[in-house]
Chains A and B, each alone.
Chain A
């Protein structure tokens, strides 16, 4: 088979050489201006920051009930491979995590503990209510279960299902990533107008 050298190849050579010269400081004047303009990608700082945040979501290693098993297979297993979306590194300390996945029913005894874990996480932080129970108590319409985790936490994404399919949770995480990209005001207290709700020791 005959190999033909295309024009793109030639361009590539030239660009490589120019890049070398740029790094060595051999370009000057108009050449330098043109080269810099071609090579730089302009963006806003907030957007770059949000882009970095959405592609490095660290979920907290935290499960509540049966949905936790499903959550583990989504976040931790190679079959569903959440690292495709940059959100798979589970952190078992709330100081290092920025995503809380409420996987299961929230009992009233557990609610203050969850709230404390949430307060210990560093800003910016997000919450996904996974499954019917943490979204609205599901079938546990009784005295022992909090009727929806949004009674005491700001929840960003609700994923319905009992339990949700892995695709549903991944879709929820991708929705959260869209939200992170779209909303530059990331402090949740401002987002939810919740100033003055800090935990007092």
Chain B
């Protein structure tokens, strides 16, 4: 991981090359460097981190969705970048609200993001603009809702055990 100083240098270069409003913050926590970016400039930041002169982050390892329920904006998308040259990792993350969760797609930069963005769409409902095939990937195509969001019901059936039903009647309600 780049150390805290290296992370600030990266953030500085991104601000210069992509735009001042692109970086919203940095986080260096437990030796993990994280760059917070605005959702509209995700693609530009990742393109710069891949192709920029001083930037070695040529590989996208994974894309995740997160739901930070009490906070606003609620949904987050995390991109984990890897540099084989420096044997180093950098997280790029962005936050979008649930009312219009739109993030530009990075499939044209990193083809591996294809299925992973579909999974984030499937589980969290984040729409990736410019994705060639924005469909559900794991759940059935006619499924309603985004099951990994925290306000989505757990599903399944309440299990009644012999010990908890007398003690806690209708505990599952």
Contacts and interface: CB of A to CB of B under 8 A. Distances in A.
Given A108-B140, A109-B139, A143 B147 contact: yes
A48 interface: no
Contacts of A142: 154-156
A144 interface: yes
Contact of B154 (A108, A137, A143): A143
A169 B138 CA distance: 31
Interface string B125-157: 000000000000011100100010000111111
Contacts of B87: none
B159 interface: yes
Contacts of A141: 154-157, 159
B156 A145 contact: yes
Nearest to A143: B155
A137 B155 CA distance: 12
A109 B159 CA distance: 23
Interface residues of B, number: 12
- Residue from A142, A143, A144 having most chain B Cβ neighbours under 10 A: A143
Nearest to A140: B156
Chain B interface SS verdict (over half)? loop
A144 B159 contact: no
Interface in A137-193: 137, 140-145, 147
Interface in B64-87: none
Interface string A105-137: 000110000000000000000000000000001
Interface string B38-75: 00000000000000000000000000000000000000
A109 B157 CA distance: 18
Contacts of B152: 143
Contact of A147 (B139, B143, B156): B156
Contact of A144 (B139, B153, B157): B139
A143 B147 CA distance: 7
B140 A137 contact: no
Nearest to B154: A142
Contacts of B143: 108
A147 B154 CA distance: 13
A51 B157 CA distance: 40
A143 B153 contact: yes
Contact of A137 (B139, B147, B153, B156): B156
20 contacts: A108-B139, A108-B143, A109-B138, A109-B139, A109-B140, A137-B157, A140-B156, A141-B157, A141-B159, A142-B154, A142-B155, A142-B156, A143-B152, A143-B153, A143-B155, A143-B156, A144-B139, A145-B156, A147-B156, A147-B157
Given A142-B154, A142-B155, A144-B138, 11 more contacts: A108-B139, A109-B138, A109-B140, A137-B156, A140-B156, A141-B154, A141-B156, A141-B159, A143-B152, A143-B156, A147-B156
